[in-house]
Amino acid sequence: MIEIQNVTKEYDTKNGTVVGVDNVSLTIREGEIFGIVGYSGAGKSSLLRCINLLERPTKGTIKVDGVDLTKLKGESLRRARLKIGMIFQHFYLISQKTVFENVAFALKAAKVPKDQIKPRVEELLEMVGLSDKKDVYPAQLSGGQKQRVAIARALANNPTVLLCDEATSALDPKTTKSILKLLKKINKELNITIVLITHEMDVVKEICDRMAVMEKGRIIEEGRVYDIFASPKEQLTKEFISSVISYDIPEAILLECTGTIVKVTFKGKVAGEGVISDTLKVHQVDGNFLHGSIEYIQDEPLGIFIMELKGEKQEIEKALRYIENRAAQVEVINYGI
């Protein structure tokens, strides 16, 4: 478990003090994949680096597995950091060393006995699917293969936490999917807590259990990924989600509509059921679908539909109540003329 309590990180610049992280408190549960989302400058990288004290917080405490890292220094901090692996956007492999040597470097730095290094490196390379690349150099690898080497290196000392700093931002979509699949496998098989920062909502949607949205150094929204996708509260969160799931209706289409425009969100199993069709049968209203689809977030369906309802106002209100009572969230976008 990671417990971040009232953490602030300030930077002194020639133009004065800049606040990178502003009084953030956050609990990340053991064994979960937690996403931190925000635009550049939101403070997410600063917060991530505070977790392993690459950046020492100006104020507040960071506890990992019950140990307050902010109270540690020197050798005791170095030992604690061995349990926190980290991977970066640009891999940071040593170009003059082979794949095997890059992974072995982490073990040598931790003073692992020489006779234990070779079998451990071979085990790690097999885990990330690079056993056949152990004798090649980074320049001979693709971006995805380089990131797999970086992941193997980060796992070398059996960490309980893996920090991912924009780990897929430099990769193409297909390679990104393969890396996310690998991270999910590592999380499940090794029960490693993964903290992943990104500006890509596709990444969060693919593998994260819970998430937080950061803006100007603060967390403005936090919760289960599914719940945030279903009911985002902050405007910034809505902007991020719209990059993955967009339901904007052209203004020209809306101007042609004379009925009541509603957005209907179905959660869970009910998303695949015929609630809308049942509604139109039961009530004296006509429906016209304008947009909609069923998304799957962590294999759980989320149905979002935008439709026009026509009929008497009283009948439309009854229809909306009927839909709401069937595990749906209804938002009226525009009342009929």
**Distance separating alpha carbons of residues 103 and 81, to the nearest angstrom:** 17
Q: Is residue 240 predicted with pLDDT exceeding 80? A: yes
User: 258 or 148: whose pLDDT is higher?
Assistant: 148
* Superfamily name and number for 251-334: ACT domain (3.30.70.260)
Q: Domain-by-domain residue ranges, the chain?
A: 2-242, 251-334
Q: Is residue 272 predicted with pLDDT exceeding 80? A: no
Give the amino acid at 269. Answer: K
Q: Is residue 10 predicted with pLDDT exceeding 90? A: yes
Q: Is residue 324 predicted with pLDDT exceeding 70? A: yes
Q: Write the DSSP assignment of 174-201 as a string of letters.
A: HHHHHHHHHHHHHHHHH--EEEEEES-H
User: 61 or 242: whose pLDDT is higher?
Assistant: 61
Sheet strand arrangement including 2-13: 16-28, 2-13, 59-64, 67-68
Q: Where are the alpha helices (DSSP H) in the chain?
A: 44-51, 74-81, 99-109, 114-127, 143-154, 173-190, 201-207, 225-230, 235-242, 251-256, 275-282, 313-324
Rg of the Cα trace of the chain?
24
Q: What is the pLDDT of residues 108-132, one digit of tens each?
A: 999 899 999 999 999 999 999 999 9
Q: Across all residues in the chain, what is the average pLDDT?
A: 90
The topology (CATH level 3) of 2-242 is Rossmann fold (3.40.50)
